[in-house]
């Protein structure tokens, strides 16, 4: 796990990579994902402008005496990640080291943390100070997963567009609070 950590990047580097891939795509994937990079950057910027750590959650973190690290498996084009990663990175900032491992750079890490057999992101890995995985979270808060299940149960009534719209409204209003709360429960 320490090798993955060492290959990880800061949240600021993650933002720069997103902007660089959007401005100067070098792979077919970057070209194909251009609209998702645009949305991801907009959503991350919105989260960064509106996010402020919840005082009760900060107290809870302090009470846990967590001396480990947070490693997030992500990609900046991902809608769930663009809503969650900035909030998680900013919440732990100054308290615990946070690094982001780009999922598509090496699939061996995500393949250890599949969600129902898929490479869904983001995945937040809670590491102790010796790089052992204590727990993992992701790819979305419980409410987001409930919306996904509602869509999968009856996609003709609750369409993909309904799901995406409701999920993004939830993310915009929640500003990462539920994700952080769920991660705190796992520390």
CA atoms within 13 A on the CB side of 170: 20
120 contact partners, CB below 8 Å, separation of at least 6: 80, 114, 138, 139
164 touches 71 (CB < 8 A): no
113 to 14, 27, 79, 162: CA distances (angstroms): 21, 26, 19, 28
3-state helix, strand, coil in the chain (%, to 5): 60, 15, 30
Q: What is the pLDDT along the chain (187 residues), one digit of tens a residue?
A: 999 999 999 999 999 999 999 999 999 999 999 999 999 999 999 999 989 999 999 999 999 999 999 999 999 999 999 999 999 999 999 999 999 999 999 999 999 999 999 999 999 999 999 999 999 999 999 999 999 999 999 999 999 999 999 999 999 999 999 999 999 999 9
Token match 């999922």: residue?
Answer: 103
2-186 maps to which CATH number? 3.40.30.10
pLDDT score of 145: 97
40 touches 76 (CB < 8 A): yes
Q: Write down how long the chain is.
A: 187
**Residue 124 pairs with which residues in a beta bridge?**
72, 137
**Residue 127 pairs with which residues in a beta bridge?**
69, 133
């Amino acid at each position: 796990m320490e090798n993955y950590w060492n290959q990880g990047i800061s949240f600021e580097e993650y933002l720069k990579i997103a902007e660089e891939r959007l401005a100067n795509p070098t792979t077919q994937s970057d070209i194909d994902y251009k609209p998702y990079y645009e949305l991801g950057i907009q959503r991350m910027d919105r989260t960064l402008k509106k996010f402020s750590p919840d005082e009760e959650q900060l107290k809870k973190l302090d009470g846990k005496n967590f001396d480990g690290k947070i490693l997030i498996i992500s990609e900046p084009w991902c809608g769930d990640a663009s809503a969650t990663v900035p909030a998680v990175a900013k919440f732990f900032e100054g308290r615990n080291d946070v690094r982001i491992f780009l999922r598509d750079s090496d699939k061996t890490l995500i393949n250890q943390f599949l969600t129902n057999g898929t490479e869904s992101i983001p995945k937040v890995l809670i590491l102790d100070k010796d790089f052992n995985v204590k727990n993992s979270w992701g790819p979305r808060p419980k409410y987001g997963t409930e919306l996904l299940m509602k869509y999968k149960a009856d996609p003709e009534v609750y369409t993909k567009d309904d799901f995406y719209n409701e999920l993004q409204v939830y993310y915009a209003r929640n500003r990462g609070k539920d994700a952080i709360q769920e991660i705190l429960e796992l520390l």
